Chains A and B, each alone.
Chain A
Amino acid sequence: MDNSGIADPHAHHGSGKSATRHFITQRLTGAANIAFTGFFVWLVVRLAGAERAEMVGVLANPIVAFFLALLIVNVAIHMRIGMIEVIDDYVHEPRTRRLSLMLNTFFAGMVAALTVLFLVKLVFWG
Chain B
Amino acid sequence: MATRSRPLSPHLTVYRWALSMVMSIVHRVTGIALYVGTLFLLIFVGAAAIGDEALASVSWLYGSWFGQLVLFGYTWALFHHMLGGLRYFVWDTGHGFERHVRTWMVRGNLIGSIVLTLAAWAIFVWF
Cβ contacts under 8 Å, B55 to chain A: 52, 55
Whether the pair A11, B32 counts as a contact (CB closer than 8 A) is: no
CB distance from A90 to the nearest CB of B (A): 10
Interface of chain A: mostly helix, strand, loop or mixed: helix
**Residues of chain B at the chain A interface (Cβ within 8 Å):** 1-9, 28, 31-32, 34-35, 38-39, 41-42, 44-46, 48-52, 55, 59, 62-63, 82, 85-86, 89, 92, 120, 124-125
Known: A5-B1, A55-B48, A118-B48. A49 touches B63 (CB 8 A): yes
A23 to chain B: closest residue by CB: B92
Residue of A34, A55, A76 near B85 (CB, 8 A) is A34
Interface of chain B: mostly helix, strand, loop or mixed: helix
What is the count of residue pairs linking A and B with beta-carbon distances less than 8 angstroms? 97
- Compute how far the CA of A37 lies from the CA of B116 in the bound complex, rounded to whole angstroms: 12
Whether the pair A118, B8 counts as a contact (CB closer than 8 A) is: no
Whether the pair A59, B45 counts as a contact (CB closer than 8 A) is: yes
Known: A7-B4, A55-B55, A118-B45. A111 touches B38 (CB 8 A): yes
B84 to chain A: closest residue by CB: A30
Interface size, chain A (Cβ < 8 Å): 44
